[in-house]
Amino acid sequence: MNGPVLILGAASGMARAVARSFAQAGHPIQLAARNVARLEDDAADLRTRYGTEVTLYEFDALALDSHAAFVAALPALPEVAICAVGAMGTQKGSEADPLAASHVMRSNFEGPASVLAHLANAMETRGSGTLVGISSVAGDRGRASNYVYGSAKAGFTAFLSGLRNRLAKKGVHVVTVLPGFVKTAMTEGMDTPAPLTAEPEEVGAAILKAVTRKTNVIYTRPIWRIVMAVIRNIPEPLFKKTSI
Amino acid sequence: MTELSGWGRFPRVDCRVVTARNEADVRAAVLEAPLIARGNGRAYGDAALNAGQTLDMTGMDRMLSFDEGVLVAEAGVLLSDIIHTFLPRGWFPMVTPGTKLVSLGGAIAADVHGKNHHIDGSFRSCVDWIDLMGPDEVVTRVSTGDDMFDWTNGGMGLTGVILRAQIRLRRVETSWIVQESRALTSLADTIAAFEDTMDVPYSVAWIDCADGPHHGHSILLLGRHAVPQDLPMRKPEFKVRHKPKIPVPFGVPAFVFKGFMLRMLNSAYWRLGKFRAGEALVDWDTYFYPLDGLLNWNRLYGKRGFVQFQCALPKDTASEGMEEIMRTIAASGEGSVLSVLKRFGPQSGHFSFPMAGYTLAMDFPANERSLALMEQLDAITLAHKGRFYLAKDARMPEAVAKADSRAEAFAAMRAKAGLKKRFTSVQSERLGL
Ligand SMILES: Cc1cc2nc3c(=O)[nH]c(=O)nc-3n(C[C@H](O)[C@H](O)[C@H](O)COP(=O)(O)OP(=O)(O)OC[C@H]3O[C@@H](n4cnc5c(N)ncnc54)[C@H](O)[C@@H]3O)c2cc1C
């Protein structure tokens, strides 16, 4: 296994770690994000550390009508495509302004689903490949404190699950990644409990392992599986009264 | 707000921590409020703490280019990362402190020294240039010969934020070290042995300070990079892998660091060393970073943390001064678990710590009695024309720091260049830098 790995939304802290894990494992890396100039240093880093080949692509998750051309223009259809696109916004902002909410929903669901749909079709035709979607434990149950983001991630999680179901017979594997808290720009300033907070490197290593072993769903820190099982199972009448 | 401390876990300060992942993040932070840059938090005291804004640079950890030992990298890259990347290709840092878990920016800011200072000088001797963001958010590339280069190496982050730098690595033929260890029974013997081995690249002595100078048992470790001919058959020339870390339990009863127990500990270490004296082939990690294998060993001292005392004394007063320091420690009954003695070559840079002579580093639990003891050690150091290492300091009074006339010059330069208002740490405020 050493075909190219495409990383969508490559400017995020998590994407940087994921790219390093795959580059270290010997894959050429395709980095895609808005404003590719920002990725020059990351590309230099991957080349310097691992001697890998790195190429950069302009990509806007929200420009849905550009996705077909984006996928078609890749010099090689990747062996693995990882979507790390996302935007948290703030719950307050999303509540006050439905347009802001729409931006969060489109960035976390519509955009990622669209580009993965194009890649899925191409991989299905080829008969091989792995798609990785970075969703979130926030999608496991809507909570007052971030249900706009959570609902978009819930949609994305369901999309990935369906895609996996559809492509399983076609040689294409789909991995759903459910990170809890990860130390990135997104969680900066948030007071996240240490045992539940992963380093980006952990996520990178976990995704590489999941791709290699064809795991379906991973929680980056296993404890989240238990935490979310509990949260999902709190009866609604009780859940209404909590504020988690 | 995050409760932060240096490696000694003393003092602890609630800080607003901001992470930089690229130059734009640093620019925004510099424009926002006064700040101090922070690397990997391996300075012992308060050098990398600022309540209003502490800028975590570990997110800027990209290596930008490498060509025949010349590396350009961002300031947040750790030395361990550099070693794991380039040692398998035959390159090793020119100068390394006793832990590999320091950032490039932290190594430059403290102008760290290694076991080879007497031959290779401090970290600055491998630095070609530094990209520094000043108070006006302008980035300047300072290099050898520039005044600001001299102030920045050893400037403890108080001259601006180090964004990236070009450094040179050293060619090595293997990842192994040929180590010779000698067991010595007094401070005088130890210093004489250092003087005899000036041509050996690496040297360090672990010395028992609790026992007074004349019984100052020490284990002197000499080392050089092994060449393939030194290796037994079938030993790989380069072995570089992540070793699992052993967790250290939180806190050890205070009596361990006192009196009888402490003497037992030191004497056991010495006996073990004596038993093992002679030549051995050891791997790079064991030789350079014996403590890195223990995860969070800084928690050994419990909740209150610990303070390190590290001074340098000029060559002509060193043996007398060190003897007095050791006598004073022995008399106090307080003790340092293990103390480290190293030889220094000549001073370089405007404000760096090393000076031609000897340096002694010791850990003490952070309590009233050892703080009082350290005040006595301050006085002895000053009386012998010595100076103190800011990367280890957590408690010096301003007057002691300012006894080094370079501190006054540094503060004046900072005021004049408009650095004083932008770049401040708990330490710089305490010492009036
Ligand atoms: C076990 C152990 C052994 C050690 N052995 C040695 C030794 O042998 N020799 C030696 O010299 N030191 C030694 N040290 C001290 C250590 O090398 C220094 O304190 C070093 O500066 C730590 O680097 P850091 O990245 O952790 O920096 P921090 O502790 O985070 O910061 C240290 C200083 O560097 C500044 N700084 C960090 N990054 C930047 C940046 N990007 N721009 C501007 N300023 C910055 C900070 O403001 C602060 O003043 C040792 C420390 C430990 C824990």
The pLDDT, as a whole number, for residue B269 is: 73
- Options A50, A57, A149, A219, the catalytic residue: A149
Q: Is B169 on the interface with A (CB under 8 A)?
A: no
pLDDT digits (tens, 9 = 90+) for A146-186: 999 999 999 999 999 999 999 999 999 999 999 888 887 77
**Are the C-beta atoms of residues B40 and B56 closer than 8 Å to each other?**
no
Of A45, A185, A188, the CB nearest to B62: A45
User: Which CATH number is associated with domain A5-239?
Assistant: 3.40.50.720
d(CA B387, CA B311): 5
Task: Point out the ligand 1 atom lying closest to the alpha carbon of residue B123.
Answer: 11
Contacts of A92 (CB under 8 A, 6+ apart): none
Residue B142 near residue B152, CB atoms below 8 Å: yes
CB < 8 Å to A49, chain B: 63, 85
- Could you give phi then psi for residue A194, rounded to 5 degrees? -55, -45
CA distance B19 to chain A (A): 8
Q: To the nearest whole angstrom, how far is the Cα of B54 from the nearest Cα of chain A?
A: 12
The C-alpha atoms of residue A12 and residue B174 are separated, in whole angstroms, by 37
Q: SS3 letters for chain B?
A: CEEEECCCCCCEEEECEEECCCHHHHHHHHHHCCEEEECCCCCCCCCCCCCCCEEECCCCCCEEEEECCEEEEECCCEHHHHHHHHHHHCEEECCCCCCCCCEHHHHHHCCCCCCCHHHHCCHHHHEEEEEEECCCCCEEEEECCCHHHHHHCCCCCCCCEEEEEEEEEEECCCCEEEEEEEEECCHHHHHHHHHHCCCCCEEEEEECHHHCHHHCCEEEEEEEECCHHHCCCCCCCCCCCCCCCEECCCCCCHHHHEHHHHHHHHHHHHHHHHHHCEEEEEEHHHHHCCCCCEECHHHHHCCCCEEEEEEEEEHHHHHHHHHHHHHHHHHHCECCCCEEEEEECCCCCCCCCCCCEEEEEEEEECCHHHHHHHHHHHHHHHHCCCEECCCCCCCCCHHHHHCCHHHHHHHHHHHHCCCCCCECCHHHHHHCC
pLDDT band of B264, cuts 50, 70, 90:
low
Query: What are the C-alpha distances in Å from B200 to residues B122, B178, B195?
Result: 16, 11, 10
pLDDT of residue B325: 94
**Distance (Å, whole) CA A120 – CA A218:** 20
Question: Which candidate from B18, B21, B64 shows the least CB-CB separation from A45?
Answer: B64
Alpha-carbon distance of B36 to B26, in angstroms, equals 11
Taking 70 as the threshold, does the pLDDT of residue B253 lie above it? Answer: no
**What pLDDT shows up at residue B109?**
98
pLDDT digits (tens, 9 = 90+) for B135-187: 999 999 999 999 999 999 999 999 999 999 999 999 999 999 999 999 999 99
pLDDT on residue B252: 65
Q: How far is the CA of B102 from the centre of ligand 1 (A)?
A: 6
C-alpha–C-alpha distance, residues A66 and A115, integer Å = 9
What does the alpha-carbon distance between residue A201 and residue A194 come to, in Å, rounded to a whole number?
Answer: 15
Nearest-CB residue to B21 (from A44, A45, A185):
A185
Q: What is the pLDDT of residues B276-335, one digit of tens each?
A: 778 999 999 999 998 888 888 888 777 888 899 999 999 999 999 999 999 999 888 877
Which residue of A40, A49, A184 to mutate against B (max B Cβ within 10 Å)?
Answer: A49
Q: Which residue of B has its CA nearest to A24?
A: B85
pLDDT cut 90: percent of chain A above it: 79
Give the C-alpha separation, B89 to B15, whole Å.
40
Q: Which of B25, B30, B42 is the pocket-test mutation for ligand 1 (most atoms within 8 Å of CB)?
A: B42
Cβ under 8 Å to B: A residues 8-67: 13, 38, 41-42, 44-45, 48-49
Among B21, B58, B82, B99, say which to mutate for ligand 1: greatest number of ligand atoms within 8 Å of CB. Answer: B99
Nearest to A85 by CA among A189, A186, A197: A186
Which residues contact ligand 1 via a Cβ below 6 A? B 6-7, 36-43, 47-48, 57, 75, 97-99, 102-103, 105-107, 109-110, 112-113, 156-157, 161-162, 291, 391, 425
Q: Which of residues 135-194 of A touch B (CB under 8 A)?
A: 185, 188
Residues 6+ apart with CB under 8 A from B397: none
B63 closest CB neighbour out of A38, A45, A185: A45
> Please, how many CA atoms are within 13 Å of residue A190, restricted to the half-sphere of its CB?
17
CATH of domain B176-395: 3.30.70.2520
Q: Determine whether the interchain pair A41/B74 forms a contact, defined as Cβ–Cβ distance below 8 Å.
A: yes
Q: Of residues B257 and A142, which shows the higher confidence score?
A: A142
pLDDT at A1 over 60: no
CATH code 3.30.70.2520 region(s) in chain B: 176-395
Nearest to B19 among A38, A45, A185 (CB): A185
Distance from Cα B391 to the centre of ligand 1, integer Å: 6
Tens-digit pLDDT profile for residues B420-431: 999 999 999 999
Average pLDDT, chain A: 94
Q: Which residues contact A198 (CB under 8 A, 6 or more apart)?
A: A179, A180, A181, A182, A183, A220, A221
Q: Which of B7, B27, B103, B140 to mutate to test the pocket of ligand 1 (most atoms within 8 A of CB)?
A: B103
Q: How many CB atoms lie within 10 A of CB B300?
A: 18
Q: Is B22 on the interface with A (CB under 8 A)?
A: yes
- pLDDT for the residue B270: 73
For B105, the token pair is: 């920016």
- For B385-403, write each residue's pLDDT tens digit: 999 999 999 999 999 999 9
The residues of chain B that CATH labels 3.30.465.10 are 59-173
Six-digit token string for B200: 């050996």
Residue nearest to atom 21 of ligand 1 (CA): B106
The CA R_g of chain A, rounded to the nearest whole Å, is 17
What's the gap in Å between B76 CA and the centre of ligand 1?
11
- Which residues are A84's β-sheet partners? none
Residue B163, beta-bridge partner list: none
Determine the distance in angstroms separating the CA of A200 from the nearest CA of chain B, rounded to an integer: 10
Nearest CA in chain A to B77: A45
C-beta neighbour count of B367 within 10 angstroms: 18
Q: Count CB atoms within 10 A of the CB of residue B189.
A: 17
Measure the CA–CA gap between B161 and B30, rounded to whole angstroms. Answer: 9
- Taking an 8 Å cut-off on Cβ atoms, the answer to whether A49 and B85 are in contact is yes
CA distance A114 to A112: 5
CB contact under 8 A, B66 and A48: yes
- The separation between CA A94 and the C-alpha centre of its own chain, rounded to angstroms, equals 21
Asked if residue B234 has pLDDT above 90, the reply is no
Rounded to an integer, the average pLDDT of B261-276 is 70
Question: B381, B317, B313: which is closest to B341 by C-alpha?
Answer: B313
* Distance (Å) from CA A184 to ligand 1 centroid: 23
For helices B368-383 and B315-332, angle between their N-to-C axes, nearest 10 degrees: 160
Dump pLDDT digits (tens) for B39-91: 999 999 999 999 999 999 999 999 999 999 999 999 999 999 999 999 999 99
- A&B contacts, CB < 8 Å: 28
Q: What is the pLDDT of residues A94-141, one digit of tens each?
A: 999 999 999 999 999 999 999 999 999 999 999 999 999 999 999 999
A149 labelled catalytic? yes
Calculate ∠ Cα A113-A119-A124, nearest 5°.
115
Chosen for mutation from A188, A190, A201 (greatest number of chain B CBs closer than 10 Å) is A188
The answer, for B18 touching chain A at a CB cutoff of 8 Å, is: yes
Q: Return the percentage of chain A with pLDDT > 70, whole number.
A: 99
Domain B59-173 fold is 3.30.465
Smallest CA–CA distance, residue A49 to chain B, in Å, is: 6
Cβ A48–B63 below 8 Å, yes or no?
yes
Residues of chain B positioned with their CB less than 8 A from the CB of A48: 63-66, 71, 73, 85
Most confident of A199-208, B33-42, B202-211, B333-342: B33-42
Which pLDDT score, from 0 to 100, does residue B201 have?
98
Q: No. of H helices and E strands in chain A?
A: 10, 9
Instruction: Please report, for chain A, the start and end positions of each structural domain, with discontinuous segments joined by +.
Output: 5-239
The C-alpha of B363 sits at a distance from chain A's nearest C-alpha, in angstroms, of 28
